[in-house]
């Protein structure tokens, strides 16, 4: 621990004894740091770390931490009451200025494939977990501070984060959860009182920005890359320890009562099959709501099948299967929306390859991997049938699904609005004009709706109506079912940017949106908690992306810069 940090901690805790601080009552279990080998070198300097699963790291001190926002449901999950959330100690702890009693802070080491190429050692370059706690419901959650300073895995960076990326991570973690998408959570967003220099566009124009820290929450932050790195180094002892620990800690239901101390090949294969299944389910949910992760490197793939690491993500406004939100990926488009399912399959194959040295017979691993395609295809078809209000799939529905994905590309069509408004189509509408009318608000450029395009859209709508007539489902029932899976509100990039503008003091004069009001973070969070409800007072947030957001930084594509 540095002298500066020690002095800061003593200065703060001099004023109040440890026993008086509620966060010291968190029930730290710290299984990861207790049961797995640690890096013996305590220096937070970039270096190669071998034969260890993590390094113990102390968060960097911050100048004047202040709470910007928190997720009340996450605080409740962790057993933290509202009075504690609003205390100064909460901001101190979740900015890293004070470690509560029982904390064992650490950063994990892992490797990964980045944009398809093996990158070697990576690790938590700007994330420090303050520890794992037992929650009041009997579960386990790890509390991780993103932007908490240097770790041995920071490489050439400073380990810090800025407000804009932190707001996006905080909001999206919670938005995804309430949409029903498997995800890590976010407890808090804290301004540090420090400035962090970033070159947002990588164009040689760095500038100081507001520093911030998000406390991320998950049962585990273990990634595919945690297993890839020791496998690549031939460190089978560490690989075995990591696999055994992960299965016993996070997948205990897979361990037979009579399992030996060293897990059997059958248990490892069953675990891998479950990771494959969970990943397929997660990807189907991404596709359902129009989410594009942007950086599907293997080090950004959760072993629990959770969406993890919200960097240059994006939501489809106009439906474009080739769109990526990541400027770094603009040329290759490896992680574009429509390519996410096969990328997940490829990433799972890399994880499976890392496990082959632990399993004598590789065929069961291959069989488990092969199941991804069927799991995803079946899940995708069922998801699309639900979005269309079809109920159980019947013969010919695959053609109907392919057809709707095609007509979405005929004109610039807002995906979220299209599916939401499709629920308003009367089953008995008998003219092309009546069939198209509920969908008109979904089109960005009405002039693209030529007679030829309208005819092609109507051909599909007529076929869809015929299928609805076959199902015989009352319009009101179908609408209720469709509205339950087709959100009205998603975290469009421009909405997050308006929140950032508000915290920073308002939209800058060159933003192209000078007459646009900013958005209060809690007001938006309240809507995102119930994304399938109507919220008529916030109808504008459910509308199409405004024209000024097409090109504005933060509203279209984003870089990997924090």
140 to 125, 221, 343, 380, 386: CA distances (angstroms): 24, 12, 30, 31, 33
Within 13 Å and on the Cβ side, how many CA atoms surround 339? 16
Q: Say if residues 325 and 493 touch (Cβ distance below 8 Å).
A: yes
Q: Give me 120's structure tokens.
A: 């070697």
Q: Give me 189's structure tokens.
A: 């967003």
Q: Say if residues 154 and 161 touch (Cβ distance below 8 Å).
A: no
Please list the residues that pair with 531 across neighbouring strands: none
CA distance 339 to 333: 9
By three-state DSSP, how is residue 264 classified? coil
Q: What do you get for the CA distance between the two ends of the chain, in Å?
A: 25
Among candidate residues 14, 211, 160, the one with its CA nearest the CA of residue 98: 14
Q: Say if residues 295 and 326 touch (Cβ distance below 8 Å).
A: yes
For residue 136, give the DSSP letter.
Answer: T
Q: In sequence order, which residues have a C-beta less than 8 Å from that of residue 470 and are 6 or more positions away?
A: 394
Among candidate residues 130, 294, 140, the one with its CA nearest the CA of residue 214: 130
How are the residues of the chain apportioned to helix, strand and coil, as percentages rounded to the nearest 5? 45, 15, 40
Q: Give me 553's structure tokens.
A: 């930084």
Q: Say if residues 302 and 530 touch (Cβ distance below 8 Å).
A: no
Q: Say if residues 78 and 144 touch (Cβ distance below 8 Å).
A: no
Burial (0-12, 13-18, 19+ Cβ within 10 Å), 318: buried
Please list the residues that pair with 291 across neighbouring strands: 315
Cα dihedral across residues 546, 547, 551, 553: positive or negative: negative
Cα dihedral across residues 293, 295, 296, 302: positive or negative: negative
* Active-site choice (299, 317, 397, 483): 299
Among candidate residues 546, 126, 521, 152, the one with its CA nearest the CA of residue 309: 126
CA distance 442 to 460: 16
Among candidate residues 167, 186, 166, the one with its CA nearest the CA of residue 176: 186
Residue 299 among the catalytic residues: yes
CA dihedral 242, 247, 249, 253 (to 10 degrees): 180
Token pair 């009405």 is found at 446
**Residues involved in catalysis:** 299
């Amino acid at each position: 621990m540095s002298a500066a940090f020690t002095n800061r901690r003593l200065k703060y805790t001099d004023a109040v004894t440890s026993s008086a601080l509620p966060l010291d009552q968190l029930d730290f279990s710290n299984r990861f740091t207790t049961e797995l080998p640690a890096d013996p070198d305590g220096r937070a300097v970039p270096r190669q770390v071998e034969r260890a699963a993590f390094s113990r790291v102390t968060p960097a001190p911050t100048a004047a931490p202040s709470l910007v926002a928190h997720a009340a449901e996450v605080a409740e999950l962790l057993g933290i009451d509202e009075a504690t959330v609003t205390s100064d100690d909460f901001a101190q702890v979740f900015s890293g200025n004070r470690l509560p009693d029982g904390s064992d802070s650490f950063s994990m080491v892992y490797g990964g494939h980045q944009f398809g190429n093996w990158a070697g050692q990576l690790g938590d370059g700007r994330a420090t977990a303050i520890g794992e706690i037992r929650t009041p419901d009997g579960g386990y959650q790890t509390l991780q501070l993103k932007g908490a300073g240097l770790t041995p895995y920071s490489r050439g960076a400073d380990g810090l984060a800025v407000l804009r990326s932190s707001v996006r991570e905080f909001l999206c973690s919670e938005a995804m959860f309430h949409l029903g998408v498997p995800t890590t959570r976010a407890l808090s967003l804290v301004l540090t009182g420090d400035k962090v220099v970033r070159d947002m566009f990588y164009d040689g124009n760095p500038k100081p920005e507001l520093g911030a820290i998000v406390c991320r929450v998950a049962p585990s932050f273990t990634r595919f890359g945690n297993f890839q790195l020791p496998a690549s180094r031939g460190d089978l002892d560490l690989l075995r320890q990591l696999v055994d620990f992960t299965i016993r800690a996070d997948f205990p239901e897979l361990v037979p009562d009579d399992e030996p101390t060293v897990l059997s090949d059958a248990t490892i294969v069953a675990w891998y099959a479950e990771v494959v299944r969970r990943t397929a389910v997660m990807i189907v949910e991404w596709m359902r709501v129009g989410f594009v992760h942007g950086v599907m490197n293997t080090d950004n793939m959760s072993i629990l099948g959770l969406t993890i690491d919200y960097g240059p993500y994006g939501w489809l406004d106009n439906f474009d299967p080739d769109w990526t939100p990541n400027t770094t990926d603009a040329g290759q488009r490896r992680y574009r929306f429509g390519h996410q399912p096969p990328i997940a399959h490829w990433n799972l194959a890399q994880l499976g390859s890392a496990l082959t040295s632990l399993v004598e017979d590789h065929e069961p691993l291959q069989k488990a991997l092969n199941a991804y395609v069927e799991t995803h295809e079946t899940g995708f078809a069922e998801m699309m049938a639900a979005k269309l209000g079809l109920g159980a799939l019947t013969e010919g529905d695959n053609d109907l699904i392919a057809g709707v994905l095609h007509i979405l590309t005929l004109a610039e069509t807002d995906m979220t609005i299209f599916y939401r408004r499709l629920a308003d189509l009367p089953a008995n509408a008998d003219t092309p004009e009546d069939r198209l009318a509920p969908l008109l608000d979904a089109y960005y450029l009405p002039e693209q709706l030529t007679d030829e395009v309208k005819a092609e859209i109507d051909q599909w709508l007529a076929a869809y109506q015929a299928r609805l007539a076959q199902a015989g489902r009352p319009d009101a029932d179908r609408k209720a079912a469709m509205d339950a899976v087709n959100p009205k509100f998603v975290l469009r990039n421009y909405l997050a940017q308006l929140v950032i503008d508000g915290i920073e003091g308002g939209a800058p004069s060159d933003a192209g949106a000078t007459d646009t009001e900013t958005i209060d973070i809690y007001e938006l969070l309240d809507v995102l908690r119930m994304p399938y409800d109507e919220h008529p007072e916030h109808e504008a947030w459910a509308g199409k992306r405004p024209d000024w957001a097409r090109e504005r930084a933060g509203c279209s594509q984003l870089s990997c810069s924090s």
